[in-house]
């Protein structure tokens, strides 16, 4: 059940840059990593929705490339997660640079209704 949110997320952004859960599996830039925490909400009849707190990290050595990837990811999530089954809300964005590596962290809350 929780895999549907992960799969929809990867499907939405997988063509933009390589995407990895938790840790990159490549040595080349750019790439996107994410971590996700999914909370089910119940009624007496069972699960009625899942809410995922997602942190996406767009990583690049070039600040303009990191910004462009982040913008493309936002557009893809907005398009893919607006189909009625999923609803994504951007919570915040934090750009950072450490030793020449640019990281644009964007937090989302994604709801999957049943």
The confidence score (pLDDT) of residue 70 equals: 96
Q: CATH number of the domain at 3-113, please?
A: 3.30.2000.30
Profile the chain (114 residues) by mean pLDDT over runs of 10 residues: 84 93 92 95 92 96 96 92 84 96 96 84
Q: Where are the domains of the chain?
A: 3-113
pLDDT given for residue 1 in this prediction: 60
What pLDDT, on the 0 to 100 scale, is given for residue 105? 97
| Confidence at residue 82, expressed as pLDDT on a 0 to 100 scale | 74
Q: Using the CB atoms, write b or e for 25-53: b if 16+ within 10 Å.
A: eeeebbbbbbebebeeeeeeeeeeebebe
Contact 100, 61 (CB under 8 A): yes
What is the pTM for the complete model shown?
Answer: 0.89
Closest C-alpha to 40, from 28, 48, 32, 31: 48
């Amino acid at each position: 059940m929780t895999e549907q949110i992960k799969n929809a997320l990867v499907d939405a952004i997988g063509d933009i840059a390589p995407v990895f859960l938790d840790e990159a599996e490549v040595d080349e830039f750019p790439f996107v990593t994410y971590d996700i925490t999914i909370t089910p909400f119940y009624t007496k009849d069972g699960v009625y929705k899942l809410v995922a707190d997602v942190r996406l990290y767009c990583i690049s050595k070039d600040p303009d490339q990191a910004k462009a990837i982040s913008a493309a990811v936002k557009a893809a999530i907005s398009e893919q997660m607006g189909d009625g089954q999923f609803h994504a809300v951007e919570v915040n964005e934090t750009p950072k640079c450490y030793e020449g590596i640019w990281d644009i962290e964007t937090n989302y809350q994604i709801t999957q209704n049943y």
